Chain A
Amino acid sequence: MGEIIFYFLAAITLGTAFLTVLSRNPIHSAIYLVICFFSIAGHYLLLNAQFLAIVHIIVYSGAIMILMLFTIMLMNLHANLEKYKPTMINLGATVGFCLLGLILISGLMHTKPVVESYYYGGEDFQSINVLGQVLMNDYVVPFEFVSVLLLVAMIGAVLISKKDTVKKDTIKKA
């Protein structure tokens, strides 16, 4: 039963991922990507990671993709306006993706033993309590670094959107 669901979900994930890249209409791409994210959340549920699945839906499907759709709809992109992409960019994207894949695989290889130690310790490693304790005890420094990174990105976004008004003010004063 679990295997059938896995293959079904995997087919959806890969199919919609390809359609995201291949479809001409940017809104259709975004919607395929949303379906792809949902099927990934389904994979998390198959692994019994409820928290991860739900947070994945909240963050990716619920926030990031909605903002993405929002910008695409506002900019009113059309397929015929799409610029021609040179081969070098395609090649670069492929190489970049392969490197990212390597990093992810190496990361996964290192996480596996940690999960197993929890598994044999009989602890419920999917529960939010254990996850919070691990984040706050073992990985507190990287955790804080991530939050600082997000803060920097937020301040940067505010700065970019404020740039024009600041210039106008200085012109007025001068």
Chain B
Amino acid sequence: MDQAIIIEKGIVIVAVFAITMLMAMYATLAERKIAAWLQDRIGPNRAGFGGILQPLADGLKLFSKEEFMPDTPNKFLFLVGPAISMSMALMTSAVIPWGDKLIVGGREVILQATDINAALLYVFAVLSVGVYGIMIGGWASNNKYSLMSAMRAASQMISYEVAMGLSVIALIMMSGTLSLKEIALQQQGMNWNVFYQPLGFIIFLVCSFAETNRTPFDLAECEAELIGGYHTEYSSMRMGFYLFAEYASMFISSAILAVLYFGAYNYPGMEWMAQNVGVNVANGIGIGVLFLKIFFFIFFYMWVRWTIPRFRYDQLMHLGWKILIPLAIVNIIITGVVILLFQ
């Protein structure tokens, strides 16, 4: 019995890992294609049919490029930076419920790597640790621009984590649990949290842009001021890891947005499907629905990137501390009052 669980979880973990890597890979292609579409260009279309092999070609290019090491006294930390970024971006996927359950050979397979009691806090813990990759890499580069970028990234992430945590508190008050699995189960049918927590959702969305270092909050890699940002001194696959980590964390944060606010794998008529057609079919469609929602958010990230220009640094801090945090606190108070009134 124990061995069966280990094998089952092992398969789920490997599958989640592979899917995240694949998604991050193709998110790079999607970004270029969507950018091209928004700017009325064609985009990469040479490698494979319609450019479908472009990410592989990019990866091959990055792997085969020369590894350049700057003159830094901290060689080890310089090497560790991208590794931390990448592993932290991938670790969050462990607690996301990708589907309810599948029945394989009479066994219920739960489509989640681990269902810990404090899954939501785990996500925040991993997010907050992810800054170390940028900070250590930026500092060890021994370059003032990299260091400035690392400082910016750190202060931005710390500031927006506060608002993000506060916006989620309202959701936790409503659902009464920190387990992502239960939060997903509570949103059956069209009972999505976004309808009950619209303000919280908007705050969370803005903060997740800041947490993944995406435009309009990509001050850490602001080319006009900082050359390339924290990865100025990096070359070859190490830089590839930083870029890849950004896409992986974009995929994961889209998944978290979908699970927390957009009903996870739930869709209207899921119960009817489970009763009449079969549990596996209903949950298979559920996984597809979750991925559709994730794709929508990834598209949204890219859409915003090519629509809204970058903020100035003081505007970013102003938005974080003076607008989003008070709004999140107001949201908590409103949620508390409404819960008390309707209990």
Contacts and interface: CB of A to CB of B under 8 A. Distances in A.
Interface of A: 27, 31, 34, 50-51, 54-55, 57-58, 61-63, 66-67, 69-70, 73-74, 126-128
B36 interface: no
* Chain A interface main SS type: helix
| Chain B interface mostly | helix
Contacts of B158: 63, 66-67
Contacts of A126: 117
Nearest to B158: A66
Given A50-B116, A50-B117, A70 B155 contact: yes
Given A50-B116, A73-B150, A128-B117, A34 B125 contact: no
A74 B178 contact: no
B129 A61 contact: yes
A66 B132 contact: yes
Interface of B: 77, 116-118, 121-122, 124-125, 127-129, 131-132, 135-136, 139, 147, 150-151, 154-155, 158, 161, 178
A26 to B, nearest CB: 11
Given A50-B116, A67-B158, A73-B151, A55 B121 contact: yes
B91 to A, nearest CB: 11
A65 to B, nearest CB: 9
A57 B117 contact: no
B128 A61 contact: yes
* Residue with the greatest number of chain A CB neighbours at <10 A, chosen from B124, B127, B128, B161: B128
Contacts of B139: 27, 69, 73
B320 to A, nearest CB: 15
B129 A57 contact: yes
A34 B151 contact: no
Contacts of B161: 62-63
Specify which of A55, A66, A126, A127 lies most central, judged by the most chain B CB atoms within 10 Å of its CB: A66
Contacts of B155: 70
Contacts of B122: 54
Contacts of A57: 125, 128-129
Contact of A66 (B116, B124, B131): B131
8 contacts: A54-B125, A58-B125, A66-B131, A66-B135, A66-B158, A70-B151, A73-B151, A74-B151
B118 A50 contact: yes
A79 B210 CA distance: 35
Nearest to B139: A73
A55 B121 CA distance: 7
A134 to B, nearest CB: 16
A58 B128 contact: yes
Contacts of B121: 51, 54-55, 58
Contacts of A73: 135, 139, 147, 150-151
A36 to B, nearest CB: 14
A69 B128 contact: no
A62 B84 CA distance: 13
B118 A54 contact: yes
